[in-house]
Amino acid sequence: MTAKFNPNLVGMDRQELEQLALRHGQPVYRGRQIYTALYARGARRLDEITELPRSFREALAERHLLTYPQVKGRIASRDGSVRYLLELQDGAAIETVFMPERHRATLCLSSQVGCAVNCRFCFTALLGLERNLTAGEIVGQALGVIAHERLRQEFRLNVVLMGMGEPLLNLAQVMKAVRLLADPEGTGIPLRRITVSTAGIAPKILEFGRQPVRPKLAISLNASTDEQRTALMPINRKYPLRQLLAACRAYPLRPRERLTFEYVMMEGVNDSDDDAARVGELLAGLRAKVNLIPYNGGPGLAYRPPSLSRVLAFQQILTRRNIPAFIRISRGQDIMAACGQLSLARAGQEAERDSGATFPGRASLAESQ
């Protein structure tokens, strides 16, 4: 039987918090004070919101929660990336990755517990899908890591929804989370520094394009033919390349905006010169760029990354066709935190073997879920 919890304040937008204040007999500006405390200041407890009357804080505490995903494990890569294991209120677990650089950082957030898309080269697919995340659980990942890493508000932060799950299959909650993260009066991360990635849910791409507040979009291509893509990404049976590219061509790009196509390169699978030429044909006339990502391997899946010379040759073919192509070497590979590597079942094993970090092992994860 599913446990019942009081509603969480984290994930409520300004209007919802204003209505909440009115229901408690408080003036509407009290809701705005809660909003600022949560999303601009990162308040962790109700008693930290001292601008609220004590009686109001006590009434809120009786009927509502102020809670974030709990850090249950943290393991650092040699390149500085950090893989977080987070436990949700119902005991489910997700992963978030923090990738710092000198003056900025990138947060890779999850949008679902597991994933239903079942890409054959992705470790998250091995988990299957448990459920969608709420907007509060998505925003809570960001706010929790910001607090844990002690990032100052002026720190330049990029957010990518490229972690566990298919964001466009949880579009309403993802977009609510994006609005909270992007609001200048809230967390204040500019939309140009937020990216949502999809495996290619064609109808949802068009719906995403109609959103009034919209971040950037990245599309996982990973193949040059339908046969090849279906073998790697079964979702291609439902939304084949022709339908996917039609949605991309109908996508309402803003001035100076490009679609990003992610292309995970696997040795002997999708990395030939012919593949590059076909990708060039598929994307001809689109305002787009391509990120070439050598495959991030691990135990249990047989794919391998191509040589650097093969990646460079692929890049040159696209460049000659006037398609900007960039080589992206994923960070966090040594801790299974790179693109496509997130897998809760391996989190504890990797942490225990490599660094003695505080990830729970497989048994305790199973118990928590």
- In DSSP notation, 50-103 reads TTS-HHHHHHHHHH-B----EEEEEEE-TTS-EEEEEE-TTS-EEEEEEEE-SS
Name the amino acid, one letter, at 309. Answer: S
Are the CB atoms for 74 and 63 separated by under 8 Å?
Answer: no
- Tell me whether residue 48 is one of the annotated catalytic residues: no
C-alpha torsion sign, points 99, 301, 113, 208: positive
Quote the Cα angle for 106-110-112, to 5°. Answer: 170
Burial class (CB in 10 A: 0-12, 13-18, 19+), 82: buried
- Tokens at 349, concatenated: 């094993």
Best CA proximity match to 266, nearest among 160, 340, 346: 340
Neighbouring CB atoms inside 10 A of 176's CB total 20
Q: How far apart are CA 256 and CA 238, in angstroms?
A: 31
- Tell me whether residue 339 is one of the annotated catalytic residues: yes
User: Helix, strand, or coil here: 161?
Assistant: strand
Q: How far is CA 312 from the centre of its chain?
A: 28
Best CA proximity match to 133, nearest among 92, 105, 188: 92
Which runs of consecutive H residues, i.e. helices, occur in 185-291? 202-209, 226-232, 241-249, 273-282
Which runs of consecutive H residues, i.e. helices, occur in the chain? 14-23, 29-39, 54-63, 135-148, 171-182, 202-209, 226-232, 241-249, 273-282, 308-320, 344-354, 362-368
List the catalytic residue out of 87, 95, 166, 262.
Answer: 95
Name the amino acid, one letter, at 132. Answer: N
Quote the Cα angle for 77-195-103, to 5°. Answer: 50
List the catalytic residue out of 108, 119, 122, 339.
Answer: 339
Catalytic residues: 95, 339
